Amino acid sequence: MPAQNPLTAAVRSYKAAFSGLSPEAWVLATVMLINRAGTMVLPFLSLYLTEGLHFSLEDTGYVMACFGAGSMLGAFNGGYWTDRIGSYRVQSFALFGGSILFLGLSFISNFWLLCAGVFLLTAIADMVRPANSAAVFEYAKPENVTKAFSLNRMAINLGFSLGPAAAGLIAALNYQGLFWADALTCFGAGILFTAYFRKRQPRSQREVKPKGRSPFRDPSAMAFSALVLIFAVIFFQLVASLPLYYRNEYNLSEEMIGLLLGANGVLVVGVEMVFVNWAQNRIKPRFAIALGCVILALSFASLNLLDGVPNLFLSMGILSVAEILAMPFMISWITLRAGDASRGRYLGLYAATYALGHILAPILGTRTIAGPGFEMLWWICVGLALLAALGFSQLPPATARQSQP
């Protein structure tokens, strides 16, 4: 049998990775692509606060912590109301509400008003995350649930690769324009979502059971969330500390910082779907996540062990591999663990855990930078990542309690 052409093999792998997905899954992914293409404020928020508004590092950390606190509340509320009134209403409210608040926030410069505004913005806008994840499950074909989640993540990462790259150009002209761009993309995503799903029913109706189990009474789910929190605190140094590191240690421009952050999304978009299609029946989720944590540790260790701008791209590439290994299986684990009656609440807890990571990451980052410095921060990240790897490897299978009430 003749050897297969590598290009042909690659094309077939990509076709297999994207085959069998429902039309609704593609539209939900497109909604998140548009929404996350507006991820322009967050990557440059720390620079906007320190250079545009001349806040101290400590005040910058507090504003970014408000971002995480609002996101945490939004995640819990999004999950709660998804179980009560359905994912459609929650997503519509979050997308249009976020658009209005992004626009309003662009005119605020007072520290306390900015804290309150950032909190309110994410408390509403981030309700979309658990609701959208629940919708992905509801509209996915049963045999393609993990692929549907990966498609959604691919769209989010594609948006995140476009957003920061465009944000770097906008920020070089006017930081306020970042808020306007986010407002526009939230509104556009809302229009597409409501136009397509307004009269559409899920492929299989959820049987709503108000007495579905709480994730807070599931020890394995709580252990999983604690480990996800450790992962999130490390991973979100991507937006909390790395832009400051790039500027302070290497004096990079906004455009170069945007390209570095955008490279993460490009790598994830190019590889994740093919990897998940190959790995979903070959690797146990908890071991894939654990390996991802080990590679995450390697990414931050390289910042201390190697030098030069090329190493910054190498470190970002290693971090992207860690994300590809860990994150697709994290959301699959918690979704399968939940069962139909509690899916919104479990996904709300999952999203809220990442939001709490948003709170803790900038506090850890800015305070460590202001004290011992960047080198100590990166070694702390290495130690926490290895601790998380050990914990994830000890988790039970996701389906251990799936059928229990």
Domain architecture of the chain: domains with CATH: 21-197+215-401 (1.20.1250.20)
What is the structure's pLDDT at 400? 42
Cα–Cα distance for residue pair 44/244, rounded to 1 Å: 9
H or E stretch at 119 = helix 111-125
Rounded to 5°, angle at Cα 124 from 121 and 128: 125
Cα–Cα distance for residue pair 279/72, rounded to 1 Å: 31
- Please report how many Cα atoms fall inside a 13 Å half-sphere around the Cα of residue 269, on the Cβ side: 15
Pair 268, 323: CB distance under 8 Å: yes
Pair 292, 325: CB distance under 8 Å: yes
pLDDT tens for the chain, 405 residues: list them: 455 566 666 667 667 667 777 888 889 988 888 887 766 666 677 777 887 788 887 788 788 778 878 888 888 888 888 888 888 899 999 999 989 988 888 888 888 998 998 899 889 988 988 888 888 888 877 667 777 887 888 887 777 667 766 767 776 677 777 788 888 888 999 999 999 998 777 655 544 445 567 788 888 889 999 999 999 999 999 888 998 899 888 988 877 887 888 787 778 777 777 777 777 667 777 888 999 999 999 999 999 998 888 999 999 999 999 998 898 889 878 887 877 667 778 888 888 888 788 778 888 898 899 899 999 999 999 999 999 999 999 888 766 444 333
Pair 296, 384: CB distance under 8 Å: no
Q: Which one, of 106, 126, 93, lies nearest residue 180 by Cα?
A: 106
Pair 237, 361: CB distance under 8 Å: yes
Q: Which residues contact 108 (CB under 8 A, 6 or more apart)?
A: 114, 117
Cα–Cα distance for residue pair 163/59, rounded to 1 Å: 25
Q: Which residues contact 36 (CB under 8 A, 6 or more apart)?
A: 155, 156, 157, 158, 159, 160, 163
Token output for 64? 């970014």
Calculate the dihedral angle through the C-alpha atoms of 186, 192, 195, 196, rounding to the nearest 10 degrees.
Answer: -130
Token output for 75? 């995640």
Cα–Cα distance for residue pair 387/170, rounded to 1 Å: 39
Calculate the dihedral angle through the C-alpha atoms of 232, 223, 333, 216, rounding to the nearest 10 degrees.
Answer: -100
Pair 154, 29: CB distance under 8 Å: yes
Token output for 265? 């999304």
Cα–Cα distance for residue pair 77/349, rounded to 1 Å: 10
Cα–Cα distance for residue pair 232/403, rounded to 1 Å: 29
What is the structure's pLDDT at 274? 78
Secondary structure letter of residue 51 according to DSSP: I
Helices (H) and strands (E) in the chain, counts: 17, 0
Pair 314, 49: CB distance under 8 Å: no
Rg (the chain; Cα; Å): 20
**How much of the chain is in helix, strand and coil states, percent to nearest 5?**
80, 0, 20
